Amino acid sequence: MMGDLLFWHRLQFGFTSTFHYIFPQLTMGLALVILVLKARALRGDEACNTAARFWIRIFGLSFAVGVVTGIPLEFQFGTNWARFSTHAGGVIGQTLGMEGMFAFFLESTFLGLLVWGERKLGPRRHFLAALALFAGSWLSGYFIIATNAFMQHPVGYQVAADGTLQLADFWAFLFNPWAVVQYLHNMMGAVVTGAFAVAAVGAFWTLRGVHLDQAALNLKTGVCIGLLASLLVAFPTGDLQGKRVARHQQPTLAAMEGRWHSGPYAELNLIGQPNVEGRKLDNPVPLPGVLSFIAYGSFSSNVKGLDEFPRDQWPTNLEFLYYGFHIMAGLGTLFIGLMGLAAAFLAAGRLQRTRALLWALMLAFPFPFIANSAGWVVAEFGRQPWLVYGLMRTADGTSHLVHPGQTVFTSLGFAGLYFILGLLFLFLVSREVSHGPVGHA
Amino acid sequence: MEMLWFWLVSVMVAIYAVMDGFDFGAGTLHLFVARTEAERREVLAAIGPLWDGNEVWLLAAGGAMFLAFPRLLASGFSGFYLAMFMVIWSLILRGIAIEFRSHVRDTMWRAFWDVVFACASALLPILLGAALGNVVRGVPLDASGYFQIPLFTHFGVGNPVGILDWYTVLMGVLVLATLTAHGALFLAWKTDGALHRRCLRAAGVLWPLVAVLALGATWATAAVSPAVYHNLPGAPLAWVGLALFLGGLGAVFTGLRGGRPLFAFLGSGAFIIGILAATAGCVWPVMLPSTLDPHASLTAYNASAGATSLRAGMGWWFIGFPIALVYFGYLFRIHRGKVRAPEEGEGY
């Protein structure tokens, strides 16, 4: 394994991108929450302004870590995936270039003004700064998803005389139908993360018996947005995403469910362990017909099993893909349940007195991070063995002249640096949470 | 089209060098010129709202390079593998130091981040200067279009070359001195009082050093890569660069003598743009020369993306670029005038 260059390139990119995405999902989710709070503050609700001020401080910390951990990803296209960059740069260079030009400049200009500039700007322009950060961070998300969508489902390209992929139709590439669906699903996932964080802080303060007014406001905001986003992430966005995979990545769909044999009334397994050598799922707990229904809208539809595809088209790391999907879908279902329950108690005016539910809300905040990461595991492991689906294999995209002595060195460097970065972030955020709301501008 | 993209990428790299250059300079210098907590916070207040946007020029330039010259990005980034990660890690530490420092009111916490900020800010110009040196000296590219070189070999400029040799280290030192002197002028412009005077004094010491180093680097380039100067007579933009370089240097010394830090700062910006423009003008169309075979060099023609990509990119580039300039205009307007150390909990 030590000598396996592909393994180390994948591990390094997988680790750095998974760690990075902890932060943007929180900032993109909080950007929406902050925008809602600032909009209500503009109409004179001072409590919302206080809540916004607290979340802007968390946002600033998370944004800073997101910025610095995002830089390596841009570089790694060149450093670790040189042959991929040569092969596909003529297409994906567009969206990566646009992200810098249209999203990063916008975000970087207004970040300092949002975090430190409330007094300097006044309420109206401070709201506009929140709007700019929301627009910038959500735009940035789109460009990255559009880049990834090309790798999942390439459109708008042509193969040049030298074999590289080149742009043929800019608009077809930019508005890849895969990108639109994946974007909506992904952004709803980010809002779930943000809303759960807001609800968790509200629950924590309530349980502690401190800052009760702000705690109630955070609970209400978090639960309302959280319920809405938890529903939207499953339906229609998750459902549409699943149907796209069913249509365009059939081996992936089979692998996500540990399905080797084709047939109608395909079952969705709540749990079970894929046994790749035995070509079966051990200890399954099936719901018959549900997979057929999810994939094609009818219980009797035939869902192909992996046996129908040559082994070299099966997703590599099939087990990881299988668990990624089940963790994502399982947690997503629990989110709807928890937020639905909390919303019912909120509507009845009993949420603040129901301590068990407050404990659950408080302890739930890490799980959307896990669900979002698991979702990206499904997307990225599901794309394997392809780097650009159907066009370029992952093994052919590496920087082949970089040797494992270098990638192991840099991977260890990232492991150490990011461990410290993670500790510092937790330390600073927990300080903010225990300080509580910020009363003045 | 290839030529236009070559110059667009060059322009963005030059803007990056000027803009993030003063951040690096301020970071490198601040341990020496800013002695009290209030002065440190003045330095951070001067660059705090700007550094992130300045750094975006690097990402935007990288994005433009990816779009227009994917082969160059792929070959260069993977070939300079370890040096690239030293750049990345330094950028991470620099950003975190600025953003995390003021969140905790504790002298040890702040002293720690100040040193991290200074070290990362000093290392980056050295690495970027060494990168420039490598681009002029050349790398062992073969017909495959890829290469791989270690951080250092024998510190000579002959094969097998390393990223660091006497020439590229000299370029690194030149860029470190230039950007530190550039940052001194920026801080002198944005501050007053004792900090302002110390920055002026630092600039007065550093700029003669920069002039000497620039002369040395010009001579060294002639020795290492004589071909670069062969192009000079037929490269009008290189002459413009040379004029900016000399005019900028003149403006720096005039501004320093006349007590006009903004004039001197603009001069140092012109000086930096001049060096890069003269270099770009002389090497065109070569972007990464091969030390093995001149035909294996990566040029604007053999490293570029297809015509549709270049055209489509041009379409949005000319929309995005003016918008970016407007953002920066707005940012500098909001933060115009001398900075004051912000109160606790109210800024960097």
Taking the complete model, does pTM exceed 0.90, yes or no? yes
Task: Give contacts of B305 with chain A, Cβ < 8 Å.
Answer: 89-90, 93, 166-167
A103: closest CA of chain B, how far (Å):
10
Query: Given A78, A111, A170, which is nearest B73 (Cβ)?
Result: A78
Residues A395-409: tens digit of each pLDDT: 999 999 999 999 999
Task: Give contacts of A60 with chain B, Cβ < 8 Å.
Answer: 99
Q: Does A133 touch chain B (CB under 8 A)?
A: no
Annotation: CATH topology of B2-334: Formate dehydrogenase/DMSO reductase fold (1.20.1630)
| Average pLDDT, rounded, for chain A | 94
Task: Give the mean model confidence (pLDDT) for residues B217-226.
Answer: 89
**ipTM for the whole complex:** 0.92
Task: Answer whether residue A2 shows pLDDT above 90.
Answer: no
Residues B189-218: tens digit of each pLDDT: 999 999 999 999 999 999 999 999 999 999
Query: Given A79, A109, A166, which is nearest B84 (Cβ)?
Result: A79
Q: Does A275 touch chain B (CB under 8 A)?
A: no
With an 8 Å Cβ cutoff, are A89 and B67 in contact?
A: yes
| DSSP H or E segment with residue A387 | strand A386-388
In order, the DSSP letters of A111-158 are HHHHHH-HHHHHHHHHHHHHHHHHHHHHHHHHHHHHHHHHHHS--SEE
Task: Give the mean model confidence (pLDDT) for residues A300-320.
Answer: 93
Place of tokens 């093995």: B292
With an 8 Å Cβ cutoff, are B77 and A77 in contact?
A: yes
Residues A354-374: tens digit of each pLDDT: 999 999 999 999 999 999 999
Q: Are A244 and A181 in contact (CB under 8 A)?
A: yes
Place of tokens 């669906």: A181
Residues B32-56: tens digit of each pLDDT: 999 999 999 999 999 998 999 999 9
Domain ranges of chain B: 2-334
B178 contact partners, CB below 8 Å, separation of at least 6 = B21, B125, B210, B213, B214, B268, B271, B272, B275
pLDDT at B259: 87
Task: Give the mean model confidence (pLDDT) for residues B246-258.
Answer: 94
Q: Does A75 touch chain B (CB under 8 A)?
A: yes
With an 8 Å Cβ cutoff, are A166 and B309 in contact?
A: yes
Q: What percent of chain B has pLDDT over 90?
A: 79
B329: closest CA of chain A, how far (Å):
10
Chain A residues 316-345 with a CB less than 8 Å from chain B: none
pLDDT at B269: 96
With an 8 Å Cβ cutoff, are A105 and B312 in contact?
A: no
Query: Given B53, B75, B99, which is nearest A64 (Cβ)?
Result: B99
pLDDT at A3: 63
Strands A280-282 and A273-275: antiparallel
Task: Answer whether residue A441 shows pLDDT above 60.
Answer: no
Task: Answer whether residue B235 shows pLDDT above 90.
Answer: no
Task: Answer whether residue A228 shows pLDDT above 80.
Answer: yes
Query: Given B100, B309, B330, which is nearest A428 (Cβ)?
Result: B100
Of the candidate ranges A326-330, B88-92, B117-121, B281-285, the one whose mean pLDDT is the lowest = B281-285
pLDDT at B237: 87
A32: closest CA of chain B, how far (Å):
22
B100 contact partners, CB below 8 Å, separation of at least 6 = A61, A64, A424, A428, B113
Q: Report the SS3 class of residue A291.
A: helix
Task: Give contacts of A399 with chain B, Cβ < 8 Å.
Answer: 74, 78, 81, 146
| Average pLDDT, rounded, for chain B | 92
Task: Give the mean model confidence (pLDDT) for residues A12-41.
Answer: 96
Q: Does A91 touch chain B (CB under 8 A)?
A: yes
Task: Give the mean model confidence (pLDDT) for residues A309-315.
Answer: 93
Residues A193-213: tens digit of each pLDDT: 999 999 999 999 999 999 999
Residues A56-70: tens digit of each pLDDT: 999 999 999 999 999
Could you tell me which of B217, B213, B280 has the C-alpha nearest to residue B244? B280
Residues B56-80: tens digit of each pLDDT: 999 999 999 999 999 999 999 999 9
A79: closest CA of chain B, how far (Å):
4
With an 8 Å Cβ cutoff, are B64 and A97 in contact?
A: yes
Residues A97-106: tens digit of each pLDDT: 999 999 999 9
